[in-house]
Structure 1
Amino acid sequence: MSAAAPLRPAPSAGTPPVPSAPAARPPSPVPSPPGARRPVLDWRIRFAVLCLIWGFSFLLIKVGTHGYAPLQVTLGRMVFGTAVLGAVLLVRRERLPKGVRTWGHLTVAAFLLNALPFTLFAYAELTISSTLAGICNATTPLWGMVLSLAALSDDRPTRRRVAGLGVGFAGVLVVLGAWEGFSGQDPAGTAMALVASASYAVGWVYVRRTLSGAGGSNVAMAGSQLLLGTAQLALVTPLVTSFPSSFPVVPLLAVVALGALGTGVAFLIQYGLVAEVGPTTATLVTYFIPVIATAAGVVLLGEHLNWNTPVGALIVLAGAALTQSRPRRPRP
């Protein structure tokens, strides 16, 4: 589940945090200078923690909506996520980016990568399972491929990647049980989850084209983006929802965890992984999110799981992997 727009190529999540339209092969990670401080935890442990955080995000959204309106869940998520990155900026004494143009692009990025998809997923989970929402999130690479075919990417699609697009969307049909007329699935909720995933893809294309050379640190850019997204939701939420008459503890804790961990801490882990092992390896988190989301929904929420859901999810992930494949470079 995507939470922010780092300057260097990185996987987007989310939600989510999932690669979007194919871009040029990202550079290898820069080796740390001599004497640089090494992370306390091995990157594999941090990778596993990131998979768990983003995989459980869909369960937390579902629990949060049991006590609060979807927009309130999203606003709370943004507030706590912004607080985490703001605290990091204060500790590091980093400044926010400068320039009206940069802040204008960050405003659009905040809408496409945070405010809109987070809200759509929250509304979607009123009528669909967290399992289905997590699987829909995995379609972001497929939407990225659609944008690539629409000439929004500099990469020329290969046959393998176009085939991956077809395989991926065939997997979506399997998940939804198309041969049964999509019985048992709410069309509106499913559509909102798919549109949220497409919003991630559009947002990452926009970010790469407008903010790749904006300057400033990744944390500063991400914190500014989350701050703008929080402001957008703070303006809309009071107009659409009424102030809660009570504050149920469990849904409130779910919203706090969703924001602080799924939006704040997850980005910091993600950026550290990209810097240490490179974007290619860090992107693999994409393929674990729906698996964890499915397991969490079934085990902890008691969501029903038909045979076509895991089978379709595997087909979606296979298609997503094909859309990200690139031809090998010839040896000099």
Structure 2
Amino acid sequence: MSTATGAPTASADTTNPPATTACAAADKHAATTASTAAASLRATTATAAPKPDGRARGWQLRFAVLSLVWGFSFLFIKVGTQGFAPLQVTLGRVGFGALVLLAVLAVKRERLPRSPRTWAHLTVAAFFLNALPFSLFAYAELTIPSTLAGICNATSPLWGMALSVVALSEDRPTRRRVAGLGLGFLGVLTVLGAWQGFAGTDLTGTVMALGASLSYAVGWIYVRRTLAGVQHSHLSMSSTQLLLATAQLAVVTPLFTTAPADYPLIPLLAVFALGALGTGLAFLIQYGLVAEIGPTTAQMVTYFIPVIATAAGVALLHEQLSWNTPVGALIVLAGAALTQSRPRPSRPAPPRSDATSA
């Protein structure tokens, strides 16, 4: 999400903006979106240099697996909240995800960062890229379908573009990006059915899901401003970030929830899959893709997440789907793609020949 949940940061919902520590996404993707992502994805994936001549033949398969895992994250959240409180689902998610990354960290014999400054910045990143958006998505899915949550996750690149214009001096608004932002906003209104007074849509849950995508964007910008130059591996940074998110939720969850009376198997397996696959394994796949095919291509996973989330919700959870939901989702994705696109450099005019025929 996150970037899923995302993203994205350690988000399966979102895999979206280029700088990534553990993302979002998904949720999101997202996330993020997304297009952060991702990625919690999500500290400095944008700095990873693509290897045009050394791409693994199987990167397409791993790209598909990543899309599926993050797309299904919203279904896992919905199933998990049927047996556990939203905060408990989120705690299990980051906890299982952290265990996966820490296990890989131990196998590779890498260390966690030692700088107190890095830990302090990662604490903030863990809140905005993991603890807060993951919790918001879990609460949102108490009242909205997983399909709508997946679509809301795709708005993360739109939030990121809007905020980066203000917070990042190197990002300047262009007509193309402003048009993408307006198009994405139109898509959100279409998804919500604005012409019929948002009838049939729980506004509180929808606002929470959109707030989760906004949180990814805030987290990405913070990471870019504070951690872009840190000399640590993505695995080390992401492991620390998820560890800190787990600690944050371990403090908060007992204050607002009571211990479960039982542990139903299906919701428990959903939470485990959400954490171990959608928040742990997915980030390892994401980092490998960024290193092999570059952040731009890897970022495209953001645009597959809402499609898979919608298909999974309709096919497996039997969620209702009106015409405006997929149409609005396509408009949102088109707007997000437009905000992330860059104009093609103009080609130099071919030299004129002054030769004359004999």
TM-score (norm. length: structure 2): 0.86
Question: Quick one: percent identity of the two aligned structures?
Answer: 70
Q: 1:167 to 1:209 in 2, by over 3 A?
A: same
Q: Which amino acid aligns with 1:282?
A: A
How much has 1:148 moved relative to structure 2?
Answer: 2.6
Q: Give, in whole Å, the separation in 2 of the partners of 1:302 and 1:252.
A: 21
Q: Give, in whole Å, the separation in 1 of the partners of 2:35 and 2:219.
A: 8
Q: Give, in whole Å, the separation in 1 of the partners of 2:269 and 2:330.
A: 32
- More helix by proportion, 1 or 2? 1
1:300 equivalent among 288, 306, 316: 316
Q: Give, in whole Å, the separation in 1 of the partners of 2:74 and 2:175.
A: 33
**Cα distance per residue 1:197-254 (max 9 Å; x no partner):** 0000110011011011111110000000000000000000001000000000000000
Contact 1:130 1:297 in 2 (8 A): yes
**Cα distance per residue 1:21-53 (max 9 Å; x no partner):** 899x867414688xxxx86x7000000000000
Q: Give, in whole Å, the separation in 2 of the partners of 1:151 and 1:93.
A: 37
Quick check: 140-149 or 86-95, which moved more?
A: 140-149
Contact 2:52 2:293 in 1 (8 A): no
Q: 1:89 to 1:28 in 2, by over 3 A?
A: closer
**Cα distance per residue 1:277-324 (max 9 Å; x no partner):** 000100110100000000000000000000000000000000000000
Q: Give, in whole Å, the separation in 2 of the partners of 1:27 and 1:111.
A: 24
Contact 1:81 1:261 in 2 (8 A): yes
Structure 2: runs of 5 or more not aligned: 1-5, 38-43, 349-358
Q: Give, in whole Å, the separation in 2 of the partners of 1:78 and 1:153.
A: 33
Q: Which amino acid aligns with 2:50?
A: P
* Cα RMSD (Å): 2.3
Partner of 2:50: 29
Q: Give, in whole Å, the separation in 2 of the partners of 1:66 and 1:58.
A: 13
Q: 1:31 to 1:295 in 2, by over 3 A?
A: closer
Partner of 2:240: 224
Contact 1:89 1:95 in 2 (8 A): yes
Quick check: 215-224 or 320-329, which moved more?
A: 320-329
Q: Give, in whole Å, the separation in 2 of the partners of 1:43 and 1:68.
A: 36
Partner of 2:119: 103
Q: Which amino acid aligns with 2:88?
A: Q
How much has 1:69 moved relative to structure 2?
Answer: 0.1
Q: Give, in whole Å, the separation in 1 of the partners of 2:36 and 2:154.
A: 13
Partner of 1:118: 134
Q: Give, in whole Å, the separation in 2 of the partners of 1:63 and 1:232.
A: 23
Larger RCO: 1 or 2 (CA < 8 Å, sep 6+): 1
Q: Give, in whole Å, the separation in 2 of the partners of 1:208 and 1:267.
A: 18
Q: 1:240 to 1:224 in 2, by over 3 A?
A: same
2:146 equivalent among 123, 127, 130: 130
Q: Give, in whole Å, the separation in 2 of the partners of 1:303 and 1:45.
A: 28
Partner of 1:53: 69
Q: Which amino acid aligns with 1:143?
A: W
Contact 1:3 1:114 in 2 (8 A): no
1:147 equivalent among 163, 167, 170: 163
For the pair 1:4 / 2:9, whether they are aligned, the reply is yes
How much has 1:98 moved relative to structure 2?
Answer: 1.6
Q: Which amino acid aligns with 1:29?
A: P
Alignment of structure 1 residues 1-332 onto 2, 5 Å: 1-2=6-7, 4=9, 9-10=19-20, 13-16=25-28, 17-18=31-32, 19=34, 28-30=49-51, 42-330=58-346
Figure out how many residues of one structure are paired with residues of the other and give that number. 326
Q: Which amino acid aligns with 1:50?
A: L
How much has 1:327 moved relative to structure 2?
Answer: 2.2
How much has 1:20 moved relative to structure 2?
Answer: 6.3
How much has 1:157 moved relative to structure 2?
Answer: 1.3
Q: Secondary structure at the match of 1:263?
A: helix
Structure 1: runs of 5 or more not aligned: none
Q: Which amino acid aligns with 1:283?
A: Q
Q: Give, in whole Å, the separation in 2 of the partners of 1:68 and 1:170.
A: 35
How much has 1:326 moved relative to structure 2?
Answer: 1.2
Contact 1:12 1:20 in 2 (8 A): no
Q: Which amino acid aligns with 2:9?
A: A
How much has 1:2 moved relative to structure 2?
Answer: 2.3
TM-score (norm. length: structure 1): 0.93
How much has 1:329 moved relative to structure 2?
Answer: 3.2
